[in-house]
Every structure is written in structure tokens, then in C-alpha cells.
């Protein structure tokens, strides 16, 4: 059975926490269950895999099967040929197993190519090397000399190298990472249309994963190549001994029988994917026992890792003493090591006070800030994507495509809101038209209210793209400059961080969390937007739960979060290109109603804040 092997995916998970290996092998539910396939579709890494394979037309598939022994046999048989190139070659050493994305055999050399859909700036890397500096992977002060962001990728390659070294002790193993080169623009327009999508089912790690085949001209692909292959032999050599030791420890957790390794409970558990509330198998609860039931929980504290200082987090001390409630935190210890309180400590104190009193807090300064904002008020939200495969000529991997905006306009404090929107009308580079339509909506007067830094970053990106395309004389370019340089953009997330707390928010300042807290507690807000009001046995459903699904083809589809929006956009463009006008129109409607609600969520919070400033509380 495949489940008795330690795969490279198992290894990656265990490196984040060894206990997770037990839950993974037993199929414990995670917070991402059901989303992994959709997330993979949205991120588009499978298209990079297809492009990489297209560069090796003589390559032969020897995976994907759950029968490991059969796959190993086919791999070893195929390696009798020399030279040869294999896709998903399967190797086993003891209880360790790996499938290599691309393996090239030339005489006594095996080239192991691991495909990654992370960006790598080859131009910057080569410039650093030419200047006598370390490459982009290097962090000289870290124990293994690697930047933390690159370590999982290098360890992944090292895990495979360790197996190949055991299987072929007399051969030279050369590991590479094959990645999109963010310094090279794509010379092919509409590249995203040159794939056929399929799904790999029943593969080793369970579930489904998307896959694709490149159907375009491989010669054209070579001429406009934006992938780069990087030799990581030195980096792998640094981590290989530690990877071997760790893999041996994880194998001991699998054989002769699977057992759960106990690890120290800490703030590192706050993002555990096994932290689910329903069902009989709850990994986080198995680890934490009764401490998992604390409400509100200490792990939900804002910046809990900073509590008491990062060198010795106070939260870890309390957890070790069996105290996992937010209200177990002694407030006199919420301070810097020198006894002073920074902004983080102040917010932590206020969050605890709000939880203890079960009431929200609004700073006096917020009232004056709201009153000073010039009208009109524009509540603005962007929908964007950063595909690894550039969709239009001249774009680089992971460059931003701004395909949609929505805006709620309040001309005066008590004026009726006016909704405006724009959604990419055709499958061509949209960013210039996006900015032009936005200027027509926003003009040069009034406050532009956003949530977070995303909108500002997107506008900066579009301004840079216009400069690269020689459009600096455009009035749109000048308008972007004025908007970015002035004080029109108002970040409501930052206002929340400084001036507002609701006990239902916990430590989060995400728009959905804040808007839901307001929605649950303010009947006046619900009355103004009755189309989103759905009562449940546990209170009011999130307004996002009220977004109606639509029939697309023969499926009922809903879009209520960012990943779904990106997929809806991709599907809209694909169906429009195929002439499926009705389906494209349904995807369009889904996008419009989702983005509209994001802007309404900001208006909900603004209404609530104004009510508090006027002495009108919630329910």
C-alpha cells in the first residue's frame, strides 16, 4: 500500500510539525479540505508543469499510479535506455518514496528537475553573482545559509536526491529547480489558451490534482521561453544531512506501525490546518485536549507570537502551564521587555478588555477622522490575479492582471449609495482600460476608502506597467501619480487596527471578519441590506453566505471568496473564447455580485462606525 511510504509531500508536512504526519496518514480533515483542487486551479502551477514537460518532447510518462511497486518497476525498466527523459519517475529507498517531476539520464549522470511555480528573478540572481555576491537563495547568517522562503523548495529537492543516491550510489545526481523567470516577459499572446486541462485522480497523496498538456508550438515556446533552470547542487548539499536525519525520524513514526509523535504545544499551532471544529477526528483537539475548548482562545490574540517578546513568548509559558484562554493572559505582562507598550501591545490589551466586557471599543479619534473625510466617499474593491503563465504578450510571470473593480459612492453622509462596476470585457490586456474606467469613476475629488494595501499596490503596478509600455504621457498615467501621491486613499483596515475592536473579530482585522461582527450586532445595518439577511439557529448567517448560486451549464456554482473569484474569471474568459456566451454570462454575474458585496461590506462597517460616533450602538 502506498500509504506506508514517506512521500515528499509527507516530508514537507512533517517538517512543519511531526505530529501532522500521523493526522495526514489517517486522513484527518483539514480546513483546506475540498479547496486544494480549486486552489491549485487558481494558482495555475499545473500550467507551468505542462510548459516544462513541453520543453522535453522526448519525455516519457511513467507515473501516476497508486501501485508504487509497479511504478518503480516501470521506471527502472525505462532507465535501461540511455539517454532517456522520464516524467514522474518513481523511486523507493526503504520506506521513503519520491516521484521526480523530470528525470534525465545521460551516461553516469542523472539530472533531477523539480518544477516549482514560484517566481525566480534570473537577471537579479546573475547580477549578484557577477558582482561577487551570493545568489538569491543565500542568507549567510542562517544556520544552513538559506533564506527561509527557499528552504522548503531546497529540502524537497534534497529529499529526492537522498533517495536517488541510495538507489544509484555510483551515479552523479544533479538537482535543478525549474521555475518561471520573473525577469523575462512572455512573447506569446494568449498563451493560456494553448493547454488542454485534465485531472489526475487516485494519485499517491489522495484526492485530485489538476494537470494539463501544452498544445501550442514547442518551437515558439522555446523562442519565447520565460522558464529558467537553476542548479541547486550546493544548496541541496547544505541541507542533505539534516533532511536524511529528519526523514529517518519520520519513517520511524510510520513503521513498524503508525504512531502519533507528541510535540510541544505553542503559538506555532495557531495556523494548524487540522484546527477544525466539527467531526470526531480533530487533529488540533487531539493535541490540545481540553485546552482546545478555551473560548476565546489564546491563539486568537492579535499578534500572539509577539506577546512578551518573540524570544520567549508569554503565550507559550501560559500554554505550558495549562492556561489557553484569552482571559488567562495577565494584562500587566503585555508590554515590551523594557516595560513600554507599543501599538501591538496596546491592541492586545484592548482586545482582551473587549472580550472580558463583551463590548466593542472605538477610539475617540475615529469620530474626527470620519468627519474630516471629504465627500464623495468611494468604497472601492479590486479583483486581480497573478498567473504564473503570462496571459498576454509583454507580461512577466506573476504580473498583476486587474480584471475587475466595484465601487459604492456616497455623495454625502446620508445620501443613497450608488453602485458602479467594471469587469474586463474582452480577453486582451486589461490594465490600461481598468485604470481609465477607474479615473472616470473617481475623478480627482473625494475620499477613496479601501481595505488593506492591495488597491494601492495594484495602482502602483499599473503605473509601472504603463511606464514600461511607453505610456507616461497619458493623462491616465498622470492621474495615477496624483492619486498615489496624495491622501485620497484611506485604508479602513489601518483605521480598524488603530481605532476599533469588536469581541467577535478576535485578533483578525480582515474585512469579512469585521463586517460579519458588525452584521451580527447591528440590526440597523441588516435592515438597510435585507437581501443579505438570513437568520439561522446560531444567529445571523454571514452576508457572504447569502450570495445566491447560479446555474452554470449543469452545475450550481457560488463565489464567496477570492480563490473562487479568480476561478470564475478564468472560466468566464475560457467560455467566452469558446463561444459559450450563456455560461460566460453566468460567470460574469457571479463575479459582479461577489465584488459588489466586498464594497458593501466596507459600507456596513462605515455605517456602524458612524452610528457609534453618534452614540448609536448595535443590537
Mean pLDDT of 175-202: 89
pLDDT for 568-577, tens place per residue?
999 999 999 9
Q: Is the pLDDT of residue 92 over 60?
A: yes
Mean pLDDT of 459-473: 96
Which residue spans of the chain are classified as CATH 3.30.420? 360-619
* Per-residue buried b or exposed e for 95-123, using 16+ beta carbons within 10 Å of the residue's own CB: ebbbbbbbbbbeeeebbbbbbbbbbbbbe
Per-residue model confidence (pLDDT) at position 126: 96
Question: What percent of the chain is predicted at pLDDT more than 90?
Answer: 85
Q: Is the pLDDT of residue 1 over 60?
A: no
Retrieve residue 582's grid coordinates: 450563456
Which CATH topology does 360-619 take? Answer: Nucleotidyltransferase; domain 5 (3.30.420)
pLDDT for 9-36, tens place per residue?
999 999 999 999 999 999 999 987 666 7
Query: How many Cβ atoms are within 10 Å of 356's Cβ, its own excluded?
Result: 13
Which residues does 192 contact at the CB level (< 8 Å), separation at least 6?
A: 47, 387, 389, 391, 570, 573
Pick the CATH number of 2-254 from 2.60.120, 3.90.320, 3.40.50, 3.40.390: 3.90.320
Mean pLDDT of 340-354: 91
With bands split at pLDDT 50, 70 and 90, how would you rate the model's confidence at 37? confident
> Whole-angstrom Cα distance, residue 486 to residue 448?
11
Which residue spans of the chain are classified as CATH 3.90.320? 2-254
CA atoms within 13 A on the CB side of 370: 24
SS (H, E, C) 101-150: EEEEEECCEEEEEEECCCCECHHHHHHHHHCCCCCCCECCCCCCCECCCC
Per-residue model confidence (pLDDT) at position 450: 98
> Whole-angstrom Cα distance, residue 550 to residue 559?
9
Least confident of 78-87, 101-110, 205-214, 383-392: 205-214
Mean pLDDT of 240-245: 98
Per-residue model confidence (pLDDT) at position 618: 64
pLDDT for 292-330, tens place per residue?
999 999 999 999 998 877 777 899 999 999 999 999 999
Q: Is the pLDDT of residue 147 over 80?
A: yes
Amino acid at each position: 500500500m502506498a500509504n506506508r511510504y514517506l512521500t515528499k509531500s509527507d516530508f514537507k508536512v512533517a517538517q512543519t510539525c511531526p505530529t501532522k504526519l500521523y493526522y495526514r496518514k489517517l486522513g484527518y480533515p483539514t480546513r483546506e479540505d475540498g479547496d486544494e483542487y480549486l486552489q491549485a486551479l487558481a494558482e495555475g502551477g499545473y500550467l507551468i508543469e505542462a510548459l516544462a514537460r513541453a520543453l522535453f518532447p522526448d519525455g516519457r510518462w511513467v507515473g501516476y499510479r497508486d501501485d508504487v511497486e509497479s511504478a518503480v518497476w516501470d521506471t527502472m525498466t525505462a532507465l535501461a535506455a540511455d539517454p532517456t527523459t522520464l516524467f514522474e519517475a518513481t523511486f523507493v529507498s526503504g520506506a521513503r518514496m519520491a516521484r521526480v517531476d523530470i528525470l534525465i539520464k545521460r551516461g553516469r549522470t542523472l539530472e533531477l528537475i523539480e518544477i516549482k511555480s514560484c517566481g525566480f528573478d534570473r537577471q537579479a540572481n546573475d547580477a549578484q553573482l557577477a558582482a561577487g555576491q551570493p545568489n538569491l537563495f543565500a542568507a549567510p547568517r542562517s544556520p544552513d545559509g538559506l533564506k527561509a522562503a527557499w528552504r522548503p523548495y531546497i529540502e524537497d529537492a534534497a529529499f529526492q536526491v537522498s533517495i536517488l543516491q541510495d538507489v544509484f550510489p555510483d551515479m552523479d545526481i544533479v538537482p535543478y529547480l525549474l521555475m518561471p523567470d520573473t525577469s523575462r516577459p512572455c512573447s506569446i499572446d494568449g498563451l493560456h489558451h494553448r493547454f488542454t486541462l485534465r485531472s489526475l485522480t487516485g494519485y499517491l497523496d489522495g484526492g485530485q490534482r489538476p494537470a494539463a498538456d501544452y498544445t501550442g508550438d514547442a518551437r515558439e515556446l522555446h523562442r519565447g521561453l520565460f522558464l529558467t533552470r537553476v542548479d541547486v547542487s550546493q544548496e541541496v548539499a547544505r541541507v542533505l544531512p539534516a533532511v536524511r536525519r529528519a526523514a529517518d525520524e519520520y519513517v520511524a513514526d510510520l513503521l513498524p506501525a503508525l504512531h502519533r509523535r507528541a510535540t510541544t504545544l505553542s503559538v506555532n499551532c495557531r495556523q494548524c490546518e487540522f484546527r477544525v471544529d466539527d467531526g470526531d477526528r480533530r487533529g488540533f483537539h487531539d493535541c490540545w485536549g481540553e485546552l482546545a475548548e478555551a473560548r476565546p482562545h489564546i491563539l486568537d490574540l492579535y499578534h500572539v507570537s509577539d506577546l512578551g517578546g518573540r524570544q520567549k513568548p508569554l503565550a507559550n509559558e501560559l500554554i505550558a502551564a495549562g492556561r489557553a484562554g484569552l482571559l488567562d493572559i495577565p494584562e500587566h505582562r503585555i508590554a515590551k521587555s523594557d516595560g513600554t507598550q507599543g501599538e501591538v501591545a496596546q491592541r492586545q490589551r484592548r482586545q482582551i478588555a473587549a472580550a472580558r466586557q463583551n463590548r466593542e471599543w472605538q477610539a475617540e479619534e475615529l469620530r474626527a477622522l470620519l468627519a474630516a473625510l471629504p465627500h464623495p466617499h468611494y468604497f472601492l474593491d479590486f479583483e486581480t490575479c497573478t498567473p504564473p503563465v503570462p496571459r498576454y504578450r509583454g507580461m512577466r510571470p506573476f504580473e498583476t492582471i486587474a480584471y475587475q473593480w466595484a465601487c459604492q459612492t456616497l455623495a454625502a453622509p446620508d445620501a443613497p449609495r450608488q453602485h458602479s462596476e467594471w469587469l474586463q470585457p474582452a480577453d486582451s490586456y486589461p490594465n490600461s482600460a481598468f485604470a481609465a474606467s477607474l479615473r472616470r469613476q473617481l475623478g480627482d475629488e473625494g475620499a477613496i476608502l479601501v481595505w488593506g494595501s492591495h488597491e494601492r499596490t495594484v495602482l502602483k503596478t499599473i503605473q509601472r506597467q504603463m511606464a514600461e509600455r511607453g505610456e507616461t504621457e497619458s493623462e491616465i498615467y498622470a492621474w495615477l501619480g496624483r492619486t498615489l501621491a496624495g491622501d485620497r486613499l484611506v485604508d479602513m483596515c489601518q483605521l480598524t487596527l488603530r481605532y476599533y475592536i469588536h469581541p467577535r473579530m478576535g485578533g483578525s482585522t480582515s474585512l469579512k471578519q469585521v463586517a460579519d461582527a458588525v452584521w451580527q450586532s447591528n440590526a440597523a445595518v441588516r435592515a438597510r441590506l435585507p437581501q443579505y439577511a438570513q437568520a439561522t439557529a446560531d444567529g445571523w448567517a454571514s452576508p457572504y453566505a447569502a450570495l445566491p448560486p447560479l446555474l452554470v451549464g449543469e452545475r450550481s456554482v457560488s463565489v464567496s471568496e477570492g480563490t473562487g473569484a479568480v476561478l470564475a474569471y478564468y472560466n468566464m474568459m475560457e467560455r467566452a473564447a469558446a463561444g459559450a456566451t450563456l455560461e460566460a454570462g453566468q460567470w460574469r454575474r457571479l463575479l459582479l455580485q461577489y465584488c459588489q458585496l466586498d464594497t458593501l461590506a466596507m459600507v456596513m462597517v462605515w455605517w456602524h462606525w458612524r452610528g457609534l460616533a453618534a452614540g448609536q450602538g448595535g443590537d
